[in-house]
Structures are given as C-alpha cells and as structure tokens.
C-alpha cells in the first residue's frame, strides 16, 4: 500500500518522527513534535503527546514481532498527519519541517538516518509524484530520487563532534597551504616551459608544483573524511581517534618522503620576485 502525493519534506519529517519514537531519546522527539503542533494548534498538543506515546508502544511491539507491515502503517500515519497539518492553513511550513528533521535525525540509528536522507533529497519533477511505502520507498513516473551525502565541511567544523572535527580542520589547513603554494607558482612564474612552471625540484626529484597539486587534493580528501566522521553517530570513539592518528602519520611520512631531506621551509609559498630565472 502506498500513499501518493506527499511532499518529500513531509515524508522525511514523518519518517524521522516515527522512528525516533523507538529510540531511547523518544521523549526529546515527542517534545519536538509538541512544539511543532503548539505553533498551530496548541489545543491538540496533549492529544499528540498521547498518540506519540501509543505509537512508541505499537512500534516497539511491531519490531519485536517482526511485523514490517505494522511498522510501515505507523510511519504512514504520521506522514499523513504532518501533511494535513501543513495543508490546513496553519502557520507550519517547510522551514518548520526542516528544523524538525534536523533535530530528529541525530536521534536515529544510521540506517534510519539514511532513509530520511533519501526522502529529504527526493525531487519530484513535472507530473511525477513521490510515493511513501513505509520502510521502503519506490518512486515511479517522472520522479528523480537522489541520496546525497551532506559533505558541508565548514558546517562540520562548526557543529561536528569528536576527533573528526580535528581531522577536518587539519584537512582545510593542508588544502589552504598547498593552494597558496600553487598560487605562488602561477603568480610569480619564473623561466619558461612546462618544467619551469612546476617550480624547483626537491632532493627527492619531485617538483614543488607536483607536491602542491597532490597536497591540495589530499587536503580536500582529509577534510571530507573529517567532516564525515564529525557528523557520524560514532564521533569520539576509539576507532575515530585511530583513524585520525593514522592519517596524521601518513601525512608526515608523505611530506618527509617528498622533501628528501630538505627542510620543510622548502615548500613554503614564495611570492618573491624572480632573479635570473629563479625566485630569490
């Protein structure tokens, strides 16, 4: 059984609310829902809180018995109720639903968090519709369903947690350092030919331009990895600390290898003027 015509944002909010009620943080989820209804129909808040408590009991029972159909029905019930709340002319709109999803998502297990991500990024175009089918969503007609991982590095640096945040900062700093180095080669190009454009050679035989290029890419990957770790539910675990230390060790080993015994200052960006075909 499917429920056609629901907005993806409503689907995501309903999915997140229903599944959050089965977690240990269900009281926080109920508070978020109560605040949403209180903004439009404060008189309904006691009823909503009672219904959510009943939903938790039914959801736990359905999970215990493996009744997937019952679980799907509970998801659809709250998706429909949220849909009616938005359509009945109340003050509840997309910004309120987005805020609710952002508050509920961290309470969910990873698999449910992924399902909410799919729903929130689903885009229905033209005459297409988005269909909700409980735990599994099937999209037909002219519908595009996309699941993009939120890779906003700077948001993770501000709101992330654990060692992943440290790794993200390190990645950004590495990226900025090597970008500045590459910019120094372009802006103060000395000599002629492709070999000269890549700058001086290090004792290892690698030109600094190559190091800048590879370092810039590596910094971006490290920042992405750190942002992913900072946003994950396992932020702060021993495994994450092991990853951070391993990445730092690899970075130091790689830099030491390409320097070939030269001092680290050899890689410092140099914006000085050219003298005799080389930088001063």
Q: State yes or no: pLDDT of 142 exceeds 50.
A: no
Residues across the chain: 280
Residues 14 and 133 in one domain: yes
Residues 200 and 131 in one domain: no
Query: For position 5, what pLDDT does the model report?
Result: 59
Q: What are residue 160's DSSP bridge partners?
A: none
Band of the pLDDT at 165, cuts 50, 70, 90? confident
Same domain for 92 and 190: no
Same domain, 104 and 135: yes
Please determine, for residue 47, whether its predicted confidence score (pLDDT) is greater than 90. Answer: yes
**CA–CA dist 45, 14 (Å, integer):** 17
201 and 116 in a common domain: no
Helix then strand count (H, E) for the chain reads 11, 4
Domain that holds residue 188: 153-279
Per-residue pLDDT reduced to its tens digit, 174-183: 999 999 888 8
Structure tokens at 195: 């070999």
| Sequence-ordered list of residues with C-beta below 8 angstroms from that of 123, at least 6 positions apart, any chain | 8, 143, 144, 145, 146
Give the model's pLDDT for residue 144: 40
Give the pLDDT of residue 196.
Answer: 63
The answer to whether position 238 is within a domain reads yes
Residue 82 DSSP SS3: helix
Q: Does a structural domain hold residue 1?
A: no
Residues 160 and 84 in one domain: no
24: CB partners within 8 A, 6+ apart: none
Q: Higher pLDDT residue, 264 or 271?
A: 264
Q: How confident is the model at residue 55 (pLDDT cuts 50, 70, 90)?
A: very high
Q: What is the mean pLDDT of residues 26-39?
A: 87
What is the average per-residue pLDDT within 217-240? 78
Residue 166, classed as helix, strand or coil, is: helix
Please state the domain count of the chain: 2
Most confident by average pLDDT, 64-68, 240-244, 274-278: 64-68
Helices 45-65 and 8-20 sit at what angle, rounded to 10 degrees? 70
Q: Are residues 15 and 135 in the same domain?
A: yes
Residue of 232 and 88 predicted with greater confidence: 88
């Amino acid at each position: 059984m499917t429920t056609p015509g629901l907005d993806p944002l409503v689907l995501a909010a309903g999915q997140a609310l229903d599944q959050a009620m089965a977690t240990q943080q269900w009281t926080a989820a109920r508070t978020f829902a109560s605040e949403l209804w209180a903004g439009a129909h404060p008189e309904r808040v006691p009823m909503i809180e009672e219904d959510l408590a009943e939903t938790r009991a039914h959801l736990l029972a359905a999970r215990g018995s493996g009744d997937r159909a019952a679980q799907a029905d509970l998801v659809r019930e709250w998706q429909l109720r949220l849909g009616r709340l938005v359509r009945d002319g109340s003050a509840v709109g997309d910004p309120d639903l987005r805020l609710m999803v952002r508050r509920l998502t961290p309470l969910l297990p990873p698999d449910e968090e992924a399902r909410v991500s799919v729903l929130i990024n689903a885009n229905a175009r033209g005459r297409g519709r988005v269909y909700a089918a409980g735990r599994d969503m099937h999209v037909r007609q002219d519908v595009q369903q996309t699941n993009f991982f939120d890779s906003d590095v700077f948001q993770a640096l501000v709101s992330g947690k654990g060692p992943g945040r440290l790794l993200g900062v390190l990645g950004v700093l590495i990226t900025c350092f090597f970008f500045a180095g590459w910019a120094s080669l372009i802006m103060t190009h000395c000599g002629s030919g492709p070999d000269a454009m890549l700058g001086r050679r290090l004792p290892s035989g690698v030109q600094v331009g190559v190091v800048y290029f590879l370092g810039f890419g590596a910094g971006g990957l490290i920042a992405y990895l750190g942002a992913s770790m900072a946003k994950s539910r396992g932020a702060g675990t021993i495994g994450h600390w092991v990853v951070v230390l391993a990445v730092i060790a690899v970075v130091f080993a790689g830099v030491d290898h390409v320097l070939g015994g030269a001092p680290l200052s050899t890689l410092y960006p140099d914006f000085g003027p050219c003298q005799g075909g080389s930088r001063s």
